[in-house]
Every structure is written in structure tokens, then in C-alpha cells.
Chain A
Amino acid sequence: MKNTEVPLHKNALGDHIIHVEKVNKIFPNGVHALRDFSTNIRRNEVLVIIGPSGSGKSTLLRCINGLEQIDSGIIIVDGIPLDDDKNHRLEIRIEVGMVFQLFNLFPHMTVLANINLAQKRVRKKTTAEATETTMDLLERVGMVDKADSYPGQLSGGQQQRVAIARALAMKPMVMLFDEATSALDPEMIGEVLDVMRNLAKEGMTMVVVTHEMGFAREVSDRVIFMEDGRKVEEAAAAQFFTNPKEERTQQFLSQIL
């Protein structure tokens, strides 16, 4: 009589924008970088991932946007499964923005051209439309006056702010940050964290790998501590930092704080 049917995947996902289930990643050299890793990322959430070097933090981010192929498990981004379907993979890498430790700006293009390129080629915008978006974004990251500079003429902090603007220009649903401030001189870390902080405030869904514990504490909603490719502890930020359950987490935090 009544239609009680609920679309199954919607139900399972709820308001989760990224669903990671029992993911395993083994590199050709035999390194088991992710072991049965599962987590869910909610819309508008800031998830911070911490863990010692080599624990698989970068690998996790790279698997989520399809830079690495997973060996088993499930990754679903906004209802799109990350499988062998080329269109799915393309959609996911467009919808997921990534910011790298080494910025990876295109050195032969101006800041403007760096940010315009994918808008034009992937989003099929005209130069005028792309430039409008680009200038708005440069305004937000405080780089308007550098639109015509080349990456090599900018400081590390400036380059990273441009890289963030470039990723945002695709209007991604999620932004992944892989140690976005680790390659920066100390005096430039603040300006990049400011940009990230503002993004978090605006409600951007973010997955942040960082060693900046103060920043992590301040912006995160949830924290995952991982080691050896495993999730050791996952908790709401307040609880994680004040009252971690696992002994290993306590150890790690006491070392790093």
C-alpha cells in the first residue's frame, strides 16, 4: 500500500560525502600502506588526519582522488563509486580538489593562467568567465596583485595560496590538503593556515593531513590517528585532544604537543 522504499545507497551514505570502507593499498614493492581502512566524511566537516611518517596519510588522500589505485575495499565520493569506470574516476577527480606539499604550480604559466586552465579545459568556461572566477579567488587568498606573476617569482607561502585558489576554481565538493605547510618557511605558514581556516569557516568539506597541532585543534571537527596503514583512533576533536582513548595516541600526542 505504502511505498516505504528508500534508495539504498542514499540511506547508507546519509549525509556522508565520502565513504571509505575496508580499503587496502599494497604498493608494488610490497609496502602495505593502507590496511582495512574505513571512515566516513560528512558534508561541511573538517577531518584532520595525523600519524607518524610512513603511516599512510598521503596514500589515503591519494586513493580518495584516484591518484593511486586501491587493491580492495570501497570508496564512494558523493554517490559515485571509485571503480574502473573512467567516467566515475574523472568525475571524482574533478569534484575532489587537492593541495600538495610542494604546491605543484605550473611554472611556465602565470598565476592567472594556472588557475584559468582547468576551468577552461574541464569546465568549458570562456576565458572571460574563468578570469572572473580566478580574480575572485585571488582576492580571497590575497594574491590579486600577483595574477600576472610566474610561480617562480613568488614565495612558498604565496605559491601555496595560489595552489589553493587553483583547486578551488574547480568548485570542488571536498578539498584534500596533504601537509600543505610542511615545505614552508615558518614565517609563511600562518598566511596559508589563514586561508585554510577561512575555508573551514565557510563550510568547505576538508580532509587535512598536518603536523600543525594547534591548527588541527582549532579547525577540526573530527580527528583520525593512524599508524602502519591502520586507523588507531577516531574521535571528535574535543575528545581526541583532551581525552584520547588509545595508549598509542596518547604517546604520539605527548611527543608532538
Chain B
Amino acid sequence: MAEKNRRIPLSGPLRDVGKFLLLIGLIVWFLARGTEQLGYHWQWYRVPRYVFSIDEGRLILGPLMTGLKITFEITGISLLLASVFGIATALCRLSGSFMARLLARGYLEIIRNTPLLVQLFFIYFVLGPVIGLSRFSSAVLALSLFEGAYASEIFRAGIVSIHRGQWEAAHSLGLSLPDTYIHIILPQAIRQILPSLTGQAISLIKDSALVSTIAIYDLTMRGQEIIAETFLTFEIWFTVAAIYLMITVVLSVAVNLMENHLRVDT
């Protein structure tokens, strides 16, 4: 603990990012050599216009950027919902009610033992028409149910890691169960599980690429579309991958900074 505190806040994530970029560089170099032998004709100059272009001094977002916007919308809303599902499920699993525990357990087992793609198709093609879900809502629901199940395990671990004395102090002060969770247990639990939660958020961003399978024009779908038109296979996939990478790296660095800020001495 003490050692961790002494660490210069930025060195950790920055070093990781550095190593990571080096690795990416190597991979790109290898691929470049490989494709050269394939006789692949690189046309990077054709790529920027799909990201953004400037027309009469105005910035115009290309298809990749409009796709990114959809990706952000889907992951943003799913992230919120997944947290709600995650916390609610964790509380159910820890509650005294047998029904609540059973329900939570059933949800977890179903989600964790079937592929996300199947869940997405089930919600969009089966549930969607029945209860009237749009493409977008189906995607959000599938993603948040999926990530929520995994997040709930993280929340549960965080909650049970809080010392019994905290519960007892809250009890003897007369605090209600909801107040105890909201003001005492969850704030401490969330600080502890922030790294795992970030990992889950990163999974969510990556998993969101699957929504392209139900024809939602997210970043991945836009990439596919451009490739179909232009045959810039390597350039576009590299660009798409780099964009995902940038988002997830920025997210982890941001959370890391936040963590340092939130760290409590005990």
C-alpha cells in the first residue's frame, strides 16, 4: 500500500502506453513487410477523407466519425445500464430474500453460459418484435445485460470486501440498509473495484462492435461499408483498430488518474 502511494501518479499508465505503442509499431512493421510480399498496394492517402475532411473551411465528419458517434452512444448508455444491472444483481445476490438470490443467479447463469452474439440475436430477432424494441434499443439492452452480469460479480466482490465493522457502526447509528449501502458500503467498494470495472468498460467498448451484425452503423459497420466500396481493406481495418485502441487507452489512463485522486489512506 505504502509503496503504491509513493508511486508517481503518471509513470504507471504512461509506461504501459509506451510499451504498448512499441508493440503496435512492431506488429505494423511486420504486417507491412508481409503485405509487401503479397503485392498489396498501400493507399493511405485515400483514408483521411473517411475520418474527416475540410470543405470551405468547415470540418466535415467522415463516415468513420459518424460511426464512432454511434459507438459512443451505445457504449455510454450501456455502461450506465450495465452498472445499474450490476449493482442491482449484486444486491440481490447478497440479500436475505431467497427469491431475489434465485433470480439473480438465474440471470447470471443464462448470460454467462451463452454467447453474446446469440443473446444479441435473441433480443433483436425474438424479443424485439414482441415487445417492440428498436435496433438501437436491442443493441443497448443486449450489451448492458451481458456486461451487467460480469459487473455484478465485481460489485459483489467489492461489497463483501468491506470490513464488518463498517456495517456494525452503521447499524449502531441507526442507519437504514439503503443508507448504509449508498453512503458507506458502495463508495468504499467502488473505489476498490475501479480497476476491474475499467476492464469491464473496455470489454464493453470492444464488444459493442458486435452490434454491426444487426446492421447498426457503428464504427465497425462503417469500416466494413467503406471497405466494400473501396477495397482499402488493410488501411481501414488498421484505422478502425487504432480508433478503438485510442478510446480504451484514454479510458484507462483517465481512470488511473481518477484512482490516484480518490485513494484514501486508511
Contact = CB atoms under 8 A, between A and B. Distances in A.
Contact of B175 (A102, A118, A151): A118
Given A100-B165, A152-B264, A106 B175 contact: no
B168 A167 contact: no
B172 A167 contact: yes
A118 B174 contact: yes
Nearest to A98: B172
Contacts of B163: 104
Contacts of B97: none
Contacts, number: 70
A107 B188 contact: yes
Given A150-B264, A152-B264, A152-B265, A106 B169 contact: yes
Interface string B105-137: 000000000000000000000000000000000
B194 to A, nearest CB: 13
Interface string B184-206: 10011001000000000000000
A96 to B, nearest CB: 7
Contact of B166 (A67, A104, A118, A166): A104
Interface residues of B, number: 20
Interface residues of A, number: 28
A117 to B, nearest CB: 6
Contact of B172 (A97, A108, A117, A152): A97
A247 B79 CA distance: 68
A152 B171 CA distance: 22
A192 interface: no
B16 interface: no
A108 B165 contact: no
Contact of B266 (A96, A151, A170): A151
Nearest to B183: A117
B179 interface: yes
A122 B169 contact: no
Contacts of B43: none
Nearest to B188: A108
A107 B266 contact: yes
A250 B176 CA distance: 44
A90 B176 CA distance: 9
Given A108-B264, A151-B266, A90 B174 contact: yes
Interface in A70-105: 90, 93-94, 96-98, 100, 102, 104-105
Interface in B209-266: 264-266
Contact of A67 (B171, B176, B188, B264): B171
Given A150-B264, A152-B265, A153-B265, A104 B175 contact: no
Contacts of B2: none
A163 B264 CA distance: 18
Contacts of A105: 169
A67 B175 CA distance: 13
A103 to B, nearest CB: 8
B173 interface: yes
A181 to B, nearest CB: 16
18 contacts: A65-B171, A66-B171, A67-B171, A67-B172, A93-B174, A94-B174, A100-B169, A106-B183, A107-B188, A107-B266, A108-B188, A117-B173, A117-B175, A118-B174, A150-B264, A152-B264, A170-B173, A170-B174
Given A104-B163, A118-B175, A152-B264, 16 more contacts: A65-B172, A93-B173, A93-B174, A94-B173, A98-B169, A106-B169, A107-B188, A107-B264, A107-B266, A117-B175, A121-B176, A121-B179, A122-B174, A153-B265, A163-B169, A170-B174
Interface of A: 65-67, 90, 93-94, 96-98, 100, 102, 104-108, 117-118, 121-122, 150-153, 163, 166-167, 170
